[in-house]
Structure 1
Amino acid sequence: MATPAYRVLVCDLRTDALLDVLPVTEVAVEDFIGKAGSLRATVPVPNREIADRVRPILRGGRTALWVERDRDIWWGGILWSTVPKIDERGFASAEVQAGTFDTYLEHRKIFESLRAEDIDQLDIARNLVDYAQRLPGGDIGIEYDTHLSGIKRSRRYSKYDQPTVRELLDKLAAVEDGFEWRIRCERDPDTGRRRKLLELGHPRILRGEADVVLAHPGPVLTYEHPEDATPLANVWQARGASNNSNQAAASKPLLSDLLVAEDDLADGWPRLDGSSDHSSVDDADTLNQHARAEAAAARRPQVIPAVTVHLDQGVTPDLLGRTIRLRIRDVWFPEGYDLRHRVVGINVTPPTREAGETATLTLEAAA
């Protein structure tokens, strides 16, 4: 099998105008639902001509990088770090690190007070992205569709808190009956144009219809099935902003209802307490929505399986949001393990002399 060819399209972040196409080595890309992904790669610089090409275009915070694998878009994001270097043999290169396009929203703050009254939560999310892009210099070409979740919410965002747009999106999503979001990169099949799409899913991002079957022994090279009980809690309370308008009196935070999983305690579980802080939330209903979502997530140990597979035509970053059926039969599961999982992360490792190109898929239980 031929070694896949990776290259990076270097573009202007605001206009997406193509500046150059660079070959890269040691490529490692990762993407996730629920958190930012990253790119690490090395740009070989064999001579001064290449150095003169690379130097003016690799500009952190201004340059967009699109990763192509055999001419298919596999990743897109923003260059944040460049390290020009020369090794002991005199070979020059530039190490680049970039974050997915959602990292842009970590660098955009709310400097105006905003209000949303009884609006679908997905439209509130779109309005936050619109706020970031309507200001001068803020439009980086994030697009979106118009589907709705059917869940209406009211929110007030104060300019005095100066939150980032990403922080507000994450908090809006992380409530009872919330949603998931990410920025998906693709090429328009009709025009060939590169696109940055705000993908919103209620209650989760789901893609594809038929399950992808992965088995061990078989396509699955290795797997991990960790169980982490450190965040476990069956009693939960969230703290919000201070609701005291009298500056002469002691300040006390707003508290959510105290949520106790009585059935867990009756079933023999020890009492385990948990809490969370939402210092900008001053509405009791919103705070209780956060508390209920967090309490539900904390009731059982976190189980986040990961499987490593060889890359082939069926394993691409397009698997994010897809459902797979994982089948295992070995000493850990002698009677067999056959469950459906959703892919929530992918980490691509380039080929080496000792091993071929692989991808590690991060999974969660399918609904």
Structure 2
Amino acid sequence: MTTNTPYRAIFCDLLTDHTIDILPLRDVTVDDYIGRAGSLSGTIPVANAEMAARVRRIEEGRTSVYLQRGKDLWWGGIIWTSTLQSDDKGILTLGIQAATFESYAGRRLIRAKTPEYDASYTLPFAGMDQLDIARGLWTDMQTSLDGGNILVTYGTETSGVTRTITYRDGDETSYQDALDSLAALEDGFEYHITVYTDPASGSRVRRLVLGHPKIETGATDLVLDRPGTVLSYSFPRDATRGGTTARARGASTNSDQASESRPLASTVAVADQLIGTGEGHAGYPRVDLTSDHNDTTDQNTLDALARTELAAATGAVVIPAISIRLDDLVPTALLGRTARIRITDEWFTEGLDARYRIIGVKVSPAQRGRPDTAELYLEEAA
């Protein structure tokens, strides 16, 4: 990306969101996903001492960056690492690597409010809607101790599903792990932090979006055709990530130090109708999956986790991807959108006409005459 592109890289203080500078950013790659952190990488050219002084104001771990096109914020996150580099011609650049604001929750641990270990300290959520618990985790992370507020705001979504869960000092559970474990439960939810410009105030907004059972946006399907908007596509099928049985292991519940401690384990969830060649069975072999949940000590929770994991990975895992021209589409608004994909070619001779939900976006900004393109990661729509 050169300085005359329609993009702006806006660098801000993480805790106040005050703008530090607007700097050119080249060789940009950026992606964003539902349920996990996205990333941004790029290089800032350092042409002279004046530019070097400006670039020095970027501090890893306390500077945020937004990618803006026109009036739309396309991406926002935290700069975690940088690399100052000089090539054999003496040309200086600073490479930056950033992750979306979700990544901050992975750097914070649930602890007591005092430095001393407090065995009696708990962060309890009893009989609460699971989306209220998700917001409660973010609220605790941002408000319980100084220096934790990264200005993420919340909505009022509800799921109708209640949970009871308690976190303790000394378990060193990250807020990210707590959120992911909660979302992964049977009849769970999805989350994503979106960034946008408030139309009334003009200020930037970091918003935690929650959806049960999934995040869905857009009132109508986005129609994408090949030939047409779709430039390329891939439909990978990976049986190494799939299975027909699943077991979830938790923490040990043994309090007797004199006896052997073994983890609690779920009942094995089995996709019976897929396994074997008998009547009514689909003819798949038995393939076993397992997962570890070291903070879980409840049998019912482990059983639910096993069922959920099997449902998500039954048979071969398929994550289709298509590459499109972005034109006037805004990447952040694509996540959760339902796309109607229509393809006619030598493989789909009768024509593919299927609906998918967009769960990830990888953007390649326009550069050297190449248009804006995006790779969309999909899952079958309900």
Short-chain TM bin: over 0.9
The reply to whether residue 285 of structure 1 matches residue 300 of structure 2 is yes
Query: Which residue number in structure 1 is paired with residue 198 of structure 2?
Result: 188
CA contact (8 A) 1:58 1:82 kept: no
Q: Structure 1: give runs of 5+ residues left out of the alignment.
A: none
Provide the rounded CA distance (Å) in 1 between the counterparts of 2:369 and 2:70: 22
Within-5 A mapping of 1:163-202? 163-202=173-212
CA contact (8 A) 1:243 1:253 kept: yes
CA contact (8 A) 2:72 2:330 kept: no
Q: CA shift at 1:25, angstroms?
A: 1.8
Query: Which residue number in structure 2 is paired with residue 271 of structure 1?
Result: 286
Query: Which residue number in structure 2 is paired with residue 310 of structure 1?
Result: 325
Identity among equivalent pairs (%): 46
- What is the CA deviation profile of residues 283-337 of structure 1, one whole-angstrom value per residue up to 9, with x for unaligned ones? 1121112111012112131111111112200353311111110001111111110
- What is the CA deviation profile of residues 20-72 of structure 1, one whole-angstrom value per residue up to 9, with x for unaligned ones? 111222222111112211111121222111111111x2100000111112342
Provide the rounded CA distance (Å) in 1 between the counterparts of 2:330 and 2:65: 22
Secondary structure of the equivalent of 2:93? strand
CA contact (8 A) 1:8 1:21 kept: yes
Query: Which residue number in structure 2 is paired with residue 49 of structure 1?
Result: 50
Query: Which residue number in structure 1 is paired with residue 160 of structure 2?
Result: 150
CA contact (8 A) 1:227 1:303 kept: yes
> If the length of structure 1 is used for normalisation, what is the TM-score?
0.96
Provide the rounded CA distance (Å) in 2 between the counterparts of 1:227 and 1:350: 28
Question: Match of 2:366, as an amino acid?
Answer: P
Aligned in 2, Cα 1:48/1:71: closer, same or farther, shift over 3 Å? farther
Choose from 109, 120, 133 the match for 2:142.
133
Provide the rounded CA distance (Å) in 2 between the counterparts of 1:225 and 1:4: 33
Choose from 235, 241, 254 the match for 2:245.
235
Provide the rounded CA distance (Å) in 2 between the counterparts of 1:223 and 1:43: 32
Provide the rounded CA distance (Å) in 1 between the counterparts of 2:193 and 2:250: 29
Provide the rounded CA distance (Å) in 2 between the counterparts of 1:83 and 1:301: 39
Comparing 293-302 and 259-268, the one that deviates more: 259-268
Secondary structure of the equivalent of 1:335? coil
Secondary structure of the equivalent of 1:317? helix
What RMSD, in angstroms, separates the aligned Cα atoms of the two structures? 1.6
Secondary structure of the equivalent of 2:241? coil
Provide the rounded CA distance (Å) in 1 between the counterparts of 2:339 and 2:242: 27
CA contact (8 A) 2:64 2:76 kept: yes
Provide the rounded CA distance (Å) in 1 between the counterparts of 2:308 and 2:365: 38
Secondary structure of the equivalent of 1:139? coil
Provide the rounded CA distance (Å) in 1 between the counterparts of 2:110 and 2:22: 35
Aligned in 2, Cα 1:106/1:38: closer, same or farther, shift over 3 Å? same
CA contact (8 A) 1:32 1:345 kept: yes
Q: How many residues align?
A: 365
Secondary structure of the equivalent of 1:363? strand
- What is the CA deviation profile of residues 60-118 of structure 1, one whole-angstrom value per residue up to 9, with x for unaligned ones? 00001111123421110001112222233333221111110111111100113322111
- What is the CA deviation profile of residues 161-199 of structure 1, one whole-angstrom value per residue up to 9, with x for unaligned ones? 201100110010001100001111111111111011011
CA contact (8 A) 2:340 2:355 kept: yes
Provide the rounded CA distance (Å) in 1 between the counterparts of 2:260 and 2:228: 64
Query: Which residue number in structure 2 is paired with residue 203 of structure 1?
Result: 213
Provide the rounded CA distance (Å) in 2 between the counterparts of 1:268 and 1:133: 51
Query: Which residue number in structure 1 is paired with residue 101 of structure 2?
Result: 101
Q: CA shift at 1:355, angstroms?
A: 3.6
Q: CA shift at 1:255, angstroms?
A: 1.6
CA contact (8 A) 1:6 1:25 kept: no
Within-5 A mapping of 1:1-367? 4-55=5-56, 57-112=57-112, 113-134=122-143, 135-265=145-275, 266-314=281-329, 316-353=331-368, 355-367=370-382
CA contact (8 A) 1:207 1:322 kept: yes
Question: Match of 2:380, as an amino acid?
Answer: A
Question: Match of 2:175, as an amino acid?
Answer: V
Secondary structure of the equivalent of 1:264? coil
Aligned in 2, Cα 1:71/1:84: closer, same or farther, shift over 3 Å? farther
Aligned in 2, Cα 1:301/1:125: closer, same or farther, shift over 3 Å? same
Comparing 237-246 and 142-151, the one that deviates more: 237-246
